[in-house]
Amino acid sequence: MGRKMRRFQCWGWPAMTAAVSIQGVHKRFAALQALKGISMEVPQGSFFGLLGPNGAGKSTLINIMAGLARADAGSIHVMGHDVVSAWRQSRHALGVVPQELVYDPFFSVREVLRLQSGYFGLGRGNDAWIDELLEILSLTDKADANLQDLSGGMKRRVLIAQALVHRPEVVVLDEPTAGVDVELRRSLWRFARRLHREGHTILLTTHYLEEAESLCDEIAILNRGELMTRDSKRNLLARYPWRTLHITVDHATFQLPETLVSLLTNADDNCLTFRLHREQDTIGEVLAALQSAGLTVVDLSTEEVGLEEVFLRLTGQSGENT
Amino acid sequence: MKAGFNVRGFYTLFAKEVRRFLKVTVQTVLTPMVTALLFLLVFGQVLEAHVEVYAGVNYSAFLIPGLMMMSIIQNAFANSSSSIIQSKMTGNLVFVLLAPISSLEFFAAFVLAAVVRGLLVALAVYGVAVLFIDLPLTHPWAIAVFAMLGSATLGALGVIAGIWADKYDQLAGFQNFFILPLSFLSGVFYSIHALPEIWQQISHFNPFFYLIDGFRWGFFGQSDAGVVMSLSVSLGFLFVLSGLALYLLFKGYKIRR
């Protein structure tokens, strides 16, 4: 077939084709260098989070992957198919759920799914799968409704069905929960997990870091067109092995034990905040030191470092969302 | 899907474009038919007794092929151009761009749908007009060939305009300052022999003139430029516009970044 195969090696597993292989991709828009030589691989079967602040290059990278934009240099392979030289095969392997709620106002839900199926060369033999998708996404009742008569949440489900209509191996969810209500967000999370369990590779871009932390097992963070990091979620979180301990004691004035001074990050009357190393410091030691200083603990809480802090450190951002 | 050409993908896109305009037939078929018949009624009534363009052909009969081709030109152009710009503006063009559909399949689907609409409007005009006016069909093959050439050419031009335009205003400008004047000044209502010499010369640079002239030859066996010349220029125009449209699609001009 003349196609180049990109491979990655998992721990002790035989080499297998990466779901998405990105090699040295550059892209410039006028004066803006949107992507500066991005290289990374998305393993097959992973739930991969692509994170980054606005303008980081996430959408540009996805657009190049999907054939909606062309790289100035470098290459992307989807399931081993070059998105330029083997574009038909790569598009068959990829299903993209666009970020914007776009739809064709001339057609019903079932009609757009049949049209999308036909674009991929599939005929009426695919109708059973279309019916199944309608059922899975709770769209059966709306199958004959015109798209412009649907709510935003329903339109979002139709976009997902359109992306899955040709049974792609890799599914790109581009900000799927942006602007949706809590109930729909939870339902979309459940559906994404189901797709992942059924063997799809999921590539998720999101502004909600708790979403990435909850769903993804692999994370890449882009910033200003550069890849800041790409690692498993577990390794990323382990890079910052700190947790925060908030303690309220019964006295506002006291002498803090010497062993706790280096751990203290804030003291506000009788409310103390300590930064503890996950492996070197224990909460028990802190409590014992306070007790030996004659203090009684009246309240206690802990905060674990999340993906958000990792993200903020890597991108130099502030604020709770990207 | 066969290697090299996604037949079902092409057919699906073509069928979708046809269904799109059939869902609004009042706007896409009936309105242009009524407009053409109003032209026929007004100009035919006013000029019938005063003008005989070809020997033995009354003015109303002369007018019908011109109005049919004018309807083909305007509607074939409108079909592909409006569909593409609407898909661009609403963003749903992405569904086609994400699919394994090549530039050629995309182009062929939009142009063929434009041909269908152009022919449908022309047949509607013909069907009503011949109820009142006798119209010979001297060379039916030429009528069919020029009708298809005209609709395919304007379908291709519509693809170019739809890709180029960023907003409806630009497309309206293209339609009103390019398509409309060229179609009105191409001999729809007159033979160019009735024009001063300089305007006759200028008319020969209007490609729509050859489409109408060849089409009219199919009905009456008489023409201004000669059928071979009309066929040659019309085919050349179609090839040039198709080449340009395919080039723009292949480069992804204004549709792929």
A187-215 confidence digits (pLDDT tens): 888 889 999 999 999 999 987 788 888 89
The nearest CA of chain B is from the CA of A91 a distance in Å of 6
Q: Which of B7, B17, B20, B94 to mutate to test the interface with A (most CBs of A within 10 A)?
A: B94
Q: Show the low-confidence residues of chain B (pLDDT under 70).
A: 1-3, 49-51
> Residues of A with CB below 8 A from B257's CB?
29, 63, 68-70
Q: Does B89 touch chain A (CB under 8 A)?
A: no
DSSP summary character for residue B221: S
Neighbouring residues of B89: CB distance < 8 A, sequence distance ≥ 6: B167, B168
Q: Is A266 a domain residue?
A: yes
Chain-centre distance for alpha carbon B174: 14
Q: How many CB pairs under 8 A join A and B?
A: 82
The nearest CA of chain B is from the CA of A238 a distance in Å of 38
Structural domain that includes position A245: 241-304
Domain end: A204, A222, A237, which one?
A237
- Specify whether A80 is located in the same domain as A195: yes
- Specify whether A131 is located in the same domain as A251: no
Question: Looking at residue A317, what is its pLDDT?
Answer: 59
- Specify whether A112 is located in the same domain as A131: yes
- Specify whether A126 is located in the same domain as A36: yes
Q: Which of A29, A61, A79, A88 to mutate to test the interface with B (most CBs of B within 10 A)?
A: A88
Say if CB B66 and CB A70 are below 8 A apart. Answer: no
Neighbouring residues of B57: CB distance < 8 A, sequence distance ≥ 6: B220, B222
Most confident of A237-246, A268-277, B99-108, B167-176: B99-108
Q: Is B256 a domain residue?
A: no
Q: Which residues pair with A48 in a beta bridge?
A: A203, A218
Q: What are phi and psi of A70, to 5 degrees?
A: -120, 135
Percentage of chain A modeled with pLDDT above 90? 59
> Residues of A with CB below 8 A from B94's CB?
68, 98, 102
> Residues of B with CB below 8 A from A89's CB?
100
Q: What are phi and psi of A225, to 5 degrees?
A: 80, 5
Q: Which of B16, B21, B105 to mutate to test the interface with A (most CBs of A within 10 A)?
A: B16
Average pLDDT, chain A: 87
DSSP line for B44-91? HHHHTTT--SSTT--HHHHHHHHHHHHHHHHHHHHHHHHHHHHHHHHS
CB contact under 8 Å between A103 and B90, yes or no, is yes
CB contact under 8 Å between B257 and A68, yes or no, is yes
Q: Which of A70, A81, A104 to mutate to test the interface with B (most CBs of B within 10 A)?
A: A104
pLDDT mean over A76-89: 96
Nearest chain B residue to A95 by CA distance is B98
Predicted ipTM > 0.85: yes
C-alpha B15/C-alpha B79 separation (Å) is 13
Q: How many domains does chain B have?
A: 1
C-alpha B99/C-alpha A112 separation (Å) is 13
Residue for token pair 């799809």: A200
DSSP line for A168-233? -SEEEEESTTTT--HHHHHHHHHHHHHHHHTT-EEEEE-S-HHHHHHH-SEEEEEETTEEEEEEEH
C-alpha A166/C-alpha A146 separation (Å) is 22
- Specify whether A38 is located in the same domain as A65: yes
- Specify whether A74 is located in the same domain as A176: yes
- pLDDT tier, A15 (very low <50, low <70, confident <90, very high otherwise): low
Q: Does A119 touch chain B (CB under 8 A)?
A: yes
Q: Is B171 a domain residue?
A: yes
Domain end: A189, A205, A237, which one?
A237
Q: What are phi and psi of A174, to 5 degrees?
A: -95, 105
* Terminal Cα distance for chain A, rounded: 42
Q: Is A56 a domain residue?
A: yes
Residue of A63, A106, A118 with shortest CB distance to B257: A63
Residue of B7, B102, B256 with shortest CB distance to A70: B256
Q: Does A67 touch chain B (CB under 8 A)?
A: yes
Structural domain that includes position B35: 7-251
- Specify whether A130 is located in the same domain as A11: yes
- Specify whether A115 is located in the same domain as A44: yes
Residue of B9, B94, B99 with shortest CB distance to A98: B94
Q: Which of A59-63, A169-173, A238-242 has the lowest mean pLDDT?
A: A238-242
- Specify whether A114 is located in the same domain as A251: no
Q: What tens digit of pLDDT does each residue of A96-133 get?
A: 999 889 999 999 999 999 999 999 999 999 999 999 99
CA dihedral sign, ordered B157, B158, B162, B167: positive
Q: Is A283 a domain residue?
A: yes
CB contact under 8 Å between A70 and B11, yes or no, is no
- Specify whether A220 is located in the same domain as A277: no
Neighbouring residues of B131: CB distance < 8 A, sequence distance ≥ 6: none
> Residues of B with CB below 8 A from A69's CB?
256-257
DSSP summary character for residue A270: T
Looking up residue A225, the CATH number of its domain turns out to be 3.40.50.300
Question: Looking at residue A212, what is its pLDDT?
Answer: 87
Question: Looking at residue A214, what is its pLDDT?
Answer: 87
Q: Is A321 a domain residue?
A: no
Q: Is B1 a domain residue?
A: no
Q: How many domains does chain A have?
A: 2
Q: Does A106 touch chain B (CB under 8 A)?
A: yes
Find residues 139-168 of chain A whose CB sits inside 8 Å of chain B.
162
- The token duo for A131 is 């019916």
The nearest CA of chain B is from the CA of A92 a distance in Å of 7
C-alpha B38/C-alpha A1 separation (Å) is 60
With a cut of 50, say whether residue A320 has pLDDT above it: no
The nearest CA of chain A is from the CA of B111 a distance in Å of 17
CA distances to A116, A295, B71, B208 from B124, in Å: 32, 96, 10, 21
Q: Is A252 a domain residue?
A: yes
The nearest CA of chain B is from the CA of A160 a distance in Å of 12
Question: Looking at residue B3, what is its pLDDT?
Answer: 55
Say if CB A256 and CB A264 are below 8 A apart. Answer: yes
Say if CB B105 and CB B43 are below 8 A apart. Answer: no
Q: Is A87 a domain residue?
A: yes
CB contact under 8 Å between B98 and A87, yes or no, is no
Say if CB A173 and CB A94 are below 8 A apart. Answer: no
- Specify whether A128 is located in the same domain as A143: yes
Q: Does B6 touch chain A (CB under 8 A)?
A: yes
How many angstroms separate the most distant Cα atoms in chain B? 61
Amino acid occupying residue A70: R
- Specify whether A64 is located in the same domain as A210: yes
Question: Looking at residue B83, what is its pLDDT?
Answer: 96
pLDDT mean over A219-230: 91
